[in-house]
Amino acid sequence: MRILITGATGLVGTAITELCKEQGIAVNYLTTSREKIVSKEGYKGFYWNPAENEIDSNCFEGVSAIVNLAGASIAQRWTKSNKKKILSSRLDALKTLAEALQKLKDHDIDSIVSASAMGIYPDSPSNYYREDDTAVDDSFLGEVVSLWEQEVDKFEKFNIRVAKVRIGLVLSGKGGALPKMAKPIQYYLGAPIGSGKQWQSWIHIKDLAGIFLHILELGLTGVYNGVGPNPVSNAKLTREIAKALEKPLFLPNIPKVALQLALGEMSYLLFASQRVSSKKIENTGFNFTYTNICTALGEIYKKERNCGSGSTYREEYVS
């Protein structure tokens, strides 16, 4: 099996690539940086520039599935120009892939699994979101994710199976949100954000990589939430990071207005509350390795911890 990955050198792409190597799956990958192109057994790079609709069509040779992770980081100030980049980077990537496939006389691609985001779900302190919820968050992020998913759905016209993974808060020591959350805690400046009651649906990076390959291996279609089984509040997550780092928390919660002034509209990401279910992917036979925030952080920070059963949220909210 050989898969084509866009965004392969990013945090999630690197984890999926490593898992592919472990399982003997060959990887072709697309990069906008010619310096990142390498070619070795089981791992071959190809140049593309979605903004200019450029792609090396040799990237499709021998490929039976695509994993799409391309898109500019959402965690930047939401200026007018950055908003345009965040949206266009996602749509242009899919359009470039689709147009290249349309020009091919023959190919063996039968599946595409694309990244999406749980930010499509409306901000809510009480809802428990499943994949069949159709409401879209009334925010820039909700708009981006909705258009992103509509664009990948167009691959169905090529008789390609389409699946989308709505990714939650990815926990990894190698990048993403966790190191940024941990840094102030390491310097004794950590504190919950706002009320601290907002739900944060998290997933360990290794489980997320596993979900992508699980979907490909079973030929699944549709939407799947890329979150772990036990969401936690921001206050709980902050406390658990502090425990893992063996640092105290003694400062009051960070006022919402302070972060709004510092980060502008993008601060919405810190206060949005989305409690999201993982039951659909579990019902396909996927087994999470990290179901508890305590054990997930313990693995990342390489610390042995007594985490108890860790099933409080599952018992309370999953029917």
The string of pLDDT tens digits covering residues 298-316 is 999 987 677 865 444 333 3
Query: d(Cα 153, Cα 149) in Å, to the nearest integer?
Result: 6
pLDDT score recorded for residue 310: 47
Of 274, 146, 118, give the one whose Cα is nearest residue 208.
118
Is the pLDDT at 150 greater than 70, yes or no? yes
The pLDDT tens digits for 82-101 are 999 999 999 999 999 999 99
3.10.180.10, 3.40.50.720, 1.10.3720.10, 2.102.10.10: which CATH number matches 2-168+204-226? 3.40.50.720
- Whether the per-residue pLDDT at 318 is higher than 80: the answer is no
Cα(154)–Cα(98) distance, integer angstroms? 8
Separation between Cα atoms, residue 122 and residue 44, nearest integer Å: 39
Domains in the chain: boundaries: 2-168+204-226
pLDDT of 316 reads: 35
Query: What is the pLDDT at residue 302?
Result: 86
Mean pLDDT taken over the chain: 94
